[in-house]
């Protein structure tokens, strides 16, 4: 069946490979994994994911609510800053509250004291290729950094979140930093029941030493007598989806340019934010390079430069790979462009359109 482009195509068979790796980590280490909804919240595949993962973690009221309604299992409520109304509403369905600061913990403790409560702690070290995403950057708002102050309120919490990784695919670095965490925070860990290590650990990557990773988690868990949680986002959905587009025009201006019916600004915004290039599996050592551009009015709306085996023509279909993370949750109506539909290829091979968007969606998004 043919679908009108642009659309995101999620392949459940590819998604299942990541789920099986997540399950392997839990089987060996005992660590539970919660889907980070800030990265991926396309609930049409939650039935599959919930068979392998233990729940969801959120950054807002809406994400927590979606996790409770569509994913089930554990719901961890975290936000950089809660409002009183957020806490009141989330208290009805959240299993754990993780506060970003001691001031927020104190402000809302009376409301949530019957829940499992955690505090985000900033250890002052991190792994990140981008300053924008580095939780330990100067003047970081993310987590309490004064261990003396944290110890003073340790009786109010049962757990802590240490989210200090971003796309960390280096097992040796992960291992060394986890050892450091255990040393630096041993007095705090002694008082806790559970610890979340957050996301940003790329353990589903091809050839990653996943069994060593799982054994390291178990070693940490056993030593400090804590239940470990992981919060995979991109790790859970990496290489499981494509953005499928059509070439609308071919232009010659310093280079061969192909304009497609989608936009980096609107549909793969992280590429623009981090100044990275889209991925395309079929591009490589071909003789014909093209700058593939989005159709918005932004001059820098460019997916990247790709090499093809033959010259492109208007009407050709192109597929950007690894297009699940931070795409569908960030897509927007810039330029009033057609929002990509969401298509899922199920485990049984059947491909179905699960969501399409119309002018009324654009109109109702405004006022």
**So what's the pLDDT on residue 295?**
98
Note whether residue 351 is domain-resident.
no
Domain-located, residue 335: no
- Of 192, 218, 237, which one is at a domain's C-terminal end? 237
Same domain, 184 and 259: no
The 10s digit of each residue's pLDDT in 265-278 is 999 999 999 999 99
pLDDT digits (tens, 9 = 90+) for 104-157: 999 999 999 999 999 999 999 999 999 999 999 999 999 999 999 999 999 999
Cis status, amide bond into 105, omega within 30 of 0: no
Within a domain: residue 367? Answer: no
If you average pLDDT over residues 171-194, what whole number do you get?
Answer: 97
Position 283 confidence tier, pLDDT thresholds 50, 70, 90: confident
Are 215 and 261 within one domain?
Answer: no
Asked if the model's pLDDT at residue 63 lies above 80, the reply is: yes
Distance in angstroms (rounded) separating the CA atoms of residues 241 and 233 = 14
Percent of all residues in the chain with a pLDDT value above 70, rounded to a whole number:
100
Q: What is the pLDDT of residue 1?
A: 64
- Domain extent for 286: 247-314
Co-location of 130 and 92 in the same domain: yes
Q: Is 1 a member of any domain?
A: no
Rounded distance between C-alpha atoms, residue 185 and residue 301, angstroms: 45
Residue 327 resides in a domain = no
- Give the per-residue pLDDT at 171: 97
Structure tokens belonging to residue 347: 């485990």
The full DSSP string for 164-229 is -BSSB--HHHHHHHHHHHHHHTHHHHTT-SEEE--S-B-TTSTT--HHHHHHHHHHHHHHHT-EEE
- Note whether 210 and 269 are same-domain residues: no
- Residue 303: CATH number of its domain: 2.40.37.10
Q: Percent helix, strand, coil in the chain (nearest 5)?
A: 35, 25, 40
Q: Is residue 200's pLDDT more than 70? A: yes
CB atoms within 10 A of CB 350: 10
**Which pair of tokens denotes residue 329?**
């949750």
CB atoms within 10 A of CB 250: 15
**Dihedral over Cα of 288, 326, 238, 3: its sign:** negative
Angle among Cα 29, 191, 188 to the nearest 5 degrees reads: 90
Q: How far apart are CA 253 and CA 10, in angstroms?
A: 34
Answer yes or no: do 289 and 200 share one domain. no
Q: Say how many C-beta atoms besides its own lie within 10 A of residue 21's C-beta.
A: 21
* pLDDT tens profile 146-159: 999 999 999 999 99
User: What's the confidence (pLDDT) of residue 188?
Assistant: 98
CATH number of the CATH domain containing 91: 3.20.20.10
State both tokens at 88.
């009141």
pLDDT band at 281; cut points 50, 70, 90: confident
Question: How many domains would you assign to the chain?
Answer: 2
Tell me whether residue 364 is in a domain. Answer: no
- What residues form DSSP beta bridges with 352? 344
Same domain, 224 and 301: no
Where on the phi/psi map is residue 105: left (φ > 0), alpha (ψ -120 to 50), or beta? alpha
Q: How far apart are CA 102 and CA 150, in angstroms?
A: 8
DSSP label at residue 181: H
Same-domain check for residues 224 and 264:
no
Is it the case that residue 91 has pLDDT exceeding 70? yes
Q: What is the pLDDT of residues 227-279, one digit of tens each?
A: 999 999 999 999 999 999 999 999 999 999 999 999 999 999 999 999 999 99
The strand pairing partners of 153, in sequence order, are none
Q: Which residue has the tokens 């925070």?
A: 185
Q: Which of 61-75, 126-140, 317-331, 341-355 has the lowest mean pLDDT?
A: 126-140
* 357 located within any domain: no
CB atoms within 10 A of CB 60: 17
Q: Which of 185, 216, 237 is the last residue of a domain?
A: 237
Domain end: 208, 237, 266, which one? Answer: 237
Sign of the torsion angle spanned by Cα atoms 58, 63, 65, 70: negative
The pLDDT, as a whole number, for residue 284 is 73
């Amino acid at each position: 069946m043919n679908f009108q482009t642009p659309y995101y195509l999620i392949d459940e068979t590819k998604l299942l490979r990541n789920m099986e790796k997540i399950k392997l980590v839990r089987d060996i280490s005992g660590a539970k994994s919660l889907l980070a909804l800030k990265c991926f919240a396309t609930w049409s595949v939650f039935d599959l994911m919930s068979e392998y993962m233990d729940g969801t973690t959120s950054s807002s009221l809406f994400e927590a609510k979606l996790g409770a309604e569509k994913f089930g299992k554990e719901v961890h409520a975290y936000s950089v800053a809660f409002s009183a109304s957020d806490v009141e509403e989330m208290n009805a369905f959240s299993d754990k509250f993780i506060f970003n600061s001691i001031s927020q913990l104190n402000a809302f403790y009376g409301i949530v004291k019957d829940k499992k409560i955690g505090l985000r702690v900033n250890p002052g070290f991190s792994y990140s290729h981008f300053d924008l995403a580095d939780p330990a950057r100067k003047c970081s708002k993310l987590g309490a950094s004064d261990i003396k102050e944290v110890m003073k309120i340790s009786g109010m919490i049962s757990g802590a979140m240490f989210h200090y990784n971003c796309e960390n695919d280096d097992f040796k670095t992960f291992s060394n930093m986890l050892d450091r965490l255990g040393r630096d925070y041993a007095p705090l860990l002694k008082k806790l029941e559970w610890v979340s290590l957050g996301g940003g650990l790329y353990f589903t990557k091809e050839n990653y030493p996943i069994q060593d990773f799982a054994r390291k988690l178990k070693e940490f868990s056993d030593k400090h007598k804590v239940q470990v949680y992981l919060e995979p986002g991109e790790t859970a959905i990496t290489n499981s989806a494509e953005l499928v587009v059509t070439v609308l025009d071919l232009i010659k201006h310093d280079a061969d340019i192909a304009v497609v019916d989608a936009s980096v600004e609107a549909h793969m915004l992280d590429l623009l934010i981090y100044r990275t290039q889209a991925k395309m599996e079929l591009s490589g050592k071909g003789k014909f390079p093209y700058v593939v551009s989005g159709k918005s009015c932004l001059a820098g709306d460019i997916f990247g430069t790709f090499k093809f085996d033959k010259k492109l023509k208007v009407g050709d279909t192109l597929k950007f790979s690894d297009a699940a993370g931070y795409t569908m949750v960030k897509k927007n109506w810039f330029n009033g462009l057609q929002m990509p539909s969401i298509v899922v290829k199920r485990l049984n091979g059947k491909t179905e359109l699960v969501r399409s968007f119309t002018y009324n969606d654009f109109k109702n998004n405004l006022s």
